[in-house]
Amino acid sequence: MALHGHSCVHAAAARFFPPGPPPGGGIALECAGMRSLVLVGHGSHRSGDAAAPVYALAERLRALNAFDEVLEAFWKDDPSLRQVLRTAASTDVTVVPLFIAPGYFTDVVLPRELNLGHQGPVPPEGIARVMGARTVRYTRPFGTHPAMRDVILARVREVLPDLPAAPEVGAPDVALVLVSAAGGDPHAHGLEAHAGQLRDTGLFREVRTLAAPEGEAPGGAWLEGLTAAQVVVVPFSASDAAHTRTGLPARLGLPGPVTALPGGPTVLFTAAAGTHPDVAQVVLQVAADAHSGAREGDAERAHHAAWDALRTLVSGEARIGELLITPQHGVYEFRHALDQGTPGSELTTIVTTEGLRDHARTDDRGRHRPVRTFRTLPRGWRAVIHPAELRRALHDVYPAVTEEAYAHGCYTLRATPWPTTARRQTGSYARVQKAGPDVLARVTRDVCGQCLRTPLWAGEKLPRTFLEGVPGAMPCAEACTYLIAHVREVLRPDAAGHVQPD
């Protein structure tokens, strides 16, 4: 395959970027000491709200300029875990799970999907793996770091601004309850360690940990034994989603954020600890612990060669999937290809990559798009993109397609057959291993039929990609989690526990 005349191996560094600002927010190939940070969230196939805290934190971290780039990835959303490392511009990549506590996802699912070859508890210093040209450092979840003590205190001071900075004479009249929003053992979640630190501050009459009850706690039984006039409840959660914001207070018998109990204390319920802005500093400390004494990276050459090819493609008007990119007066205009020729005054104008990302995450009916390459890109808009933001903007619309199309053209994109992907699944997803050819073919037709990508993992061929002039041609090297989830739902256990297709 010929990628617009570009060699798959560039001999000179200067060829990666032409003069002027490079894509991706100012990363230059010649720059030594490059580092990429990847934030990993759970995500959801049903709602984009699950990704919102990850995107918000990524924006805060970009503003701090501690890393050359900050990328997002999700288990159940795009960009996916199996793609994200290929999109990193640096050979030094630090991956931080945005989970409040260690557990099945951080110890099993995420390392497996990142292909790290590690299963089990992650040590405080994280784990490091050399993967091709990149060194990847995977850390513990941010919620285990001792600096979360100060984040919890910051949440308390939001509802009790008069809380002293240091212990004062006399017993404090405030109790603190840290609630593990996910339930389970607070010791296993590391919550008890934070409680111990907070007891040592001397700011509270009592500090308790509590596993969120499965149902409503009638009569406030969880308050028994607390004698303070005020009780502050801090949910130890990475998200302020409905199950934390409204569901958890209901289970604790609290009708609102401030509840004055007859003959008892006043209970103040805070926002989740894991969504406080100071979590950005905690993430940086977690990343620093994993990176201590390590050499920083350089520009990853294959990645930059892919974007060199992309920039050549969009030097004139180019179509990529449903997207039309046109260079205009020193900027790029993005719009839906079916809106070609529509006057700009009749379209909604988007001027930030964040706005473009959020717009591209829903279809014309406002429904979440869990797979960005589904043929559901909304119409009726145009985005004005500075050349320095080209890479990030295209990544927000079609994550990883540039890097994977380039690798496919260089014969370096390895397809993962379905049996390999199925054998990797655990827990409730392990039943996809029992999917027969008919079930897999039906689900593949239903899911992949909506997608621009060609499923190489299913044996389909893709002679040329959009980088070689075929606008809708994009490779898919491995079955996505959306398809895997649909196979799981088709194979529902019957009353006897036998797996049967529905």
pLDDT category at 316 given cuts 50, 70, 90 is very high
Q: Over the stretch 375-401, which tens digit does the pLDDT of each residue have?
A: 999 999 999 999 999 999 999 999 999
Instruction: Check residue 441 and give its pLDDT.
Output: 96
In angstroms, rounded to a whole number, what is the distance separating the alpha carbons of residues 312 and 310?
Answer: 5
- Least Cα distance to 369 among 485, 451, 466, 479 occurs for 451
Across 82-111, average pLDDT: 94
Q: Over the stretch 395-434, which tens digit does the pLDDT of each residue have?
A: 999 999 999 999 999 999 999 999 999 999 999 999 999 9
Structure tokens at 80: 């996916």
Instruction: Check residue 169 and give its pLDDT.
Output: 65
Q: Is the pLDDT of residue 9 over 50?
A: no
3-state secondary structure of 272: coil
The DSSP code for 482 is: H
Q: Over the stretch 470-497, which tens digit does the pLDDT of each residue have?
A: 999 999 999 999 999 999 999 987 544 5
| Averaged pLDDT of the chain | 89
The contacts of residue 430 (CB under 8 Å, 6+ apart) are none
Q: Is the pLDDT of residue 19 over 50?
A: no
H-helix or E-strand spanning residue 491: strand 491-493
Task: Phi first, then psi: give them for residue 272, nearest 5 degrees.
Answer: -60, 140
Across 443-450, average pLDDT: 97
Instruction: Check residue 213 and give its pLDDT.
Output: 67
pLDDT category at 181 given cuts 50, 70, 90 is confident
pLDDT cut 90: percent of the chain above it: 76
Name the more confident of 23 and 271: 271
Q: Is the pLDDT of residue 502 over 70?
A: no
Question: Which of 4-18, 64-78, 294-308, 335-349 shows the lowest per-residue confidence on average (mean pLDDT)?
Answer: 4-18
Name the more confident of 166 and 357: 357
Q: Over the stretch 197-236, which tens digit does the pLDDT of each residue have?
A: 999 999 999 999 998 766 555 456 888 889 999 999 999 9
In the chain, DSSP finds a helix count (H) and a strand count (E) of 17, 19
Instruction: Check residue 187 and give its pLDDT.
Output: 61
Instruction: Check residue 30 and give its pLDDT.
Output: 41
Name the more confident of 23 and 405: 405
Across 56-79, average pLDDT: 96
Across 107-130, average pLDDT: 93
3-state secondary structure of 89: coil
Instruction: Check residue 214 and give its pLDDT.
Output: 63
The DSSP code for 200 is: H
CA-CA-CA-CA torsion for 49, 55, 57, 59, nearest 10 degrees? -140
Contact predicate 147/204, CB 8 Å:
no
